[in-house]
């Protein structure tokens, strides 16, 4: 039963990544026209000739202003057309995918993927996996969740690992490359974790496989891309490991957490009763070992508050999200990890004793307002 709990709120996830990648119209210069008046004597005719250049110059300036306004309006309309074309292209790409997500609802890695899919308005079906038998994923040699099956025409692809799923789908939406090709950019490899256990890791998992123009359009600069990757990895390497020690911190919290797991998960009647009490007891003691393994403070809430405040400081005061005016992949990852604690004491404490609540509420609103 403790094994089932660890799969719901993962307690160990060594991550590795390396960088990789695949290989306003200008305005024309205005000319100036000179006007020369004919030489003449004094009198009305001479005065009219002297005034003509001034009138013609004023007319030229007025014409130049009209042309400037015309080009400005034309540029703005063209920009709107390009944005509409990109949105339509993305909608066309997303409509070609049929997605099925195999998950545990209370798993933070699964929650990350749902946050991404919901924000990008990608329709998907959910298959809740029984954490004990895992019969729903018996088709797969990869035995962890999330697993995403993506049907694109006649091609059916299996995507494993939450960060790979997100990076591959975002690459697909931005570049339009076939998903079958994109998956090859994230090859699995065998590694040994800190406990001496062989695990499967994925290369390039935080890297979007975009060409230079696509990357510039998405990020605007290398700094934004590097920042997004850094905080996506932080969410996986650090933030997610604070969940279990906090939701199982006391016997009462452990029991409440398993009550939530059983209620939201896929358990039989007997399995649910066993999981609720034996699982809660087991995970209470396991959480103490986790605290030691990750060198957490005596009160693990303090580590959770510090992590939240560190994230808020990274976002800063001058932008609503790390991604600027809209969430980027790091925003979605952090939100997805924290969301699994909703309804539990740890989540309420986090909202009241850290500075993260305003950002969290903005994230809720951004996902709720995503076009459906």
Q: Which residues are known catalytic residues?
A: 104, 107, 109-110
Burial class (CB in 10 A: 0-12, 13-18, 19+), 116: buried
- The Cα–Cα gap between 305 and 318 comes to 22
Joined together, the tokens standing for residue 248 give 């199982």
Q: Do the Cβ atoms of 11 and 286 come closer than 8 Å?
A: yes
Burial class (CB in 10 A: 0-12, 13-18, 19+), 108: buried
- The Cα–Cα gap between 54 and 48 comes to 10
Q: Do the Cβ atoms of 274 and 1 come closer than 8 Å?
A: yes
Of the candidates 213, 206, 125, 126, which has an alpha carbon nearest to the alpha carbon of residue 166? 206
| Residue written as token pair 């049907």 | 151
Beta bridge partners of 128: 103
- The Cα–Cα gap between 294 and 272 comes to 30
CA quadruple 176, 177, 178, 184: dihedral positive or negative? negative
- Which alpha helices (DSSP H) does the chain contain, by range? 2-8, 44-95, 108-119, 162-175, 179-183, 212-219, 222-237, 243-247, 251-264, 269-274, 280-293, 300-315, 329-339, 345-353, 357-368
- C-alpha dist (Å) from residue 222 to 17, 212, 219, 273: 17, 10, 7, 51
- The Cα–Cα gap between 76 and 96 comes to 31
Q: Do the Cβ atoms of 353 and 345 come closer than 8 Å?
A: no
Question: Cis omega before residue 106 (within 30°)?
Answer: no
Q: Do the Cβ atoms of 186 and 162 come closer than 8 Å?
A: no
């Amino acid at each position: 039963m403790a094994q089932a709990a660890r799969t719901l709120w993962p307690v160990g996830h060594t991550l590795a990544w390396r960088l990789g990648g695949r290989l306003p119209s200008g305005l024309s210069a205005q000319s100036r026209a000179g006007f020369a008046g004919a030489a003449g004597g004094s009198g009305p005719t001479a005065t009219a000739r002297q005034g003509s250049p001034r009138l013609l110059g004023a007319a030229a300036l007025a014409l130049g202003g009209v042309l400037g306004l015309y080009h400005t309006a034309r540029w703005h309309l063209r920009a709107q057309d390009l944005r509409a074309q990109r949105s339509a292209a993305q909608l066309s790409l997303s409509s070609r995918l049929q997605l099925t997500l195999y998950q545990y609802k209370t798993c933070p890695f699964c929650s990350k993927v749902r946050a991404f899919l919901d924000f990008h308005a990608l329709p998907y079906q959910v298959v809740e996996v029984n954490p004990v038998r895992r019969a729903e994923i018996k088709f797969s040699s990869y035995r962890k969740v999330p697993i995403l099956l993506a049907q694109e025409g006649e091609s059916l692809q299996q995507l494993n690992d939450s960060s790979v799923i997100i990076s591959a789908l975002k690459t697909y939406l931005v570049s339009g490359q076939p998903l079958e090709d994109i998956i090859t950019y994230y090859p699995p490899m065998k590694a040994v974790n800190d406990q001496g256990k062989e695990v499967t890791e994925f290369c390039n998992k935080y890297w979007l496989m975009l060409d230079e123009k696509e990357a510039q359009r998405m990020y605007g600069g290398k700094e934004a891309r590097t920042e997004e990757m850094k905080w996506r990895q932080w969410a996986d390497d650090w933030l997610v490991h604070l969940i279990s020690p906090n939701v199982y911190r006391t016997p009462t919290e452990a029991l409440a957490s398993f009550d939530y797991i059983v209620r939201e998960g896929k358990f039989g009647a007997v399995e649910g009763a066993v999981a609720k009490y034996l699982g809660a007891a087991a995970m209470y003691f396991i959480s103490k070992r986790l605290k030691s393994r990750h060198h957490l403070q005596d009160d693990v809430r303090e580590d959770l508050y510090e992590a939240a405040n560190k994230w808020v400081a990274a976002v800063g005061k001058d932008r609503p999200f790390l991604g600027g005016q809209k969430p980027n992949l790091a925003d979605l990852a952090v939100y997805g990890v924290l969301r699994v604690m909703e309804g539990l004491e740890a989540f309420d404490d986090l909202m009241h004793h850290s500075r993260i609540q305003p950002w969290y509420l903005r994230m809720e609103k951004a996902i709720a307002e995503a076009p459906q």
